Amino acid sequence: MDLTEHAAQVRNNAYAPYSNFKVGAAIRSASGAVFVGCNVENVAYPEGTCAEAGAIAAMVAAGETEIAEVAVIADSPTPVPPCGGCRQKLAEFGRGDVKVTLATTDGQRLTMEISALLPGAFGAEHMEKD
């Protein structure tokens, strides 16, 4: 199954009673396995978590730390962009050339690389002097 289809399927399980904006995310890891996540909101709004964060957590819990490909989908007027925090989370586990497909439920697709989503990313090298 196409990675965007995995994202669309898990989006049905999103818990988004406050925003009514359901998001699904799917990650293909280096091993080829697929991990999915959806947004999970909370009545204490800042406690909600994004779909991408859920998919990353599932991948790491399974013992993998290398993202090969990502898909994110929502019922959005244009392909849904990951929030700033999720861009940093994706950059933690995916190289700059990893492709992220942003999708809408009505069939629009936009593919971007992590390096374009987070130019000038903060990385471990910025903590090293000499």
Binding site for ligand THU (CB under 6 A): 16, 19, 21, 23, 39, 41, 48, 50-52, 72, 82-83, 86
Select which of 41, 47, 52, 125 is catalytic.
Answer: 52
Contacts 24+ apart (CB under 8 A), 93-96: 93/56, 93/59, 93/60, 93/65, 93/66, 93/67, 94/66, 94/67, 94/68, 94/70, 96/121
User: What's the min distance (Å) between Cβ of 41 and ligand THU?
Assistant: 5
CA distances, 82 to each of 31, 115, 118 (Å): 24, 13, 10
User: What's the min distance (Å) between Cβ of 55 and ligand THU?
Assistant: 10
Residue 41 or residue 69: which is nearer to ligand THU going by CB?
41
User: What's the min distance (Å) between Cβ of 125 and ligand THU?
Assistant: 26
User: What's the min distance (Å) between Cβ of 28 and ligand THU?
Assistant: 18
Active-site residue flag, 66: no
Radius of gyration from C-alpha coordinates of the chain: 14
User: What gap in Å lies between CA 101 and CA 80, rounded to an integer?
Assistant: 9
Residue 12 or residue 127: which is nearer to ligand THU going by CB?
12
Token readout for 27 is: 């990650």
Contact 28, 3 (CB under 8 A): yes
Q: Which residues are catalytic?
A: 52
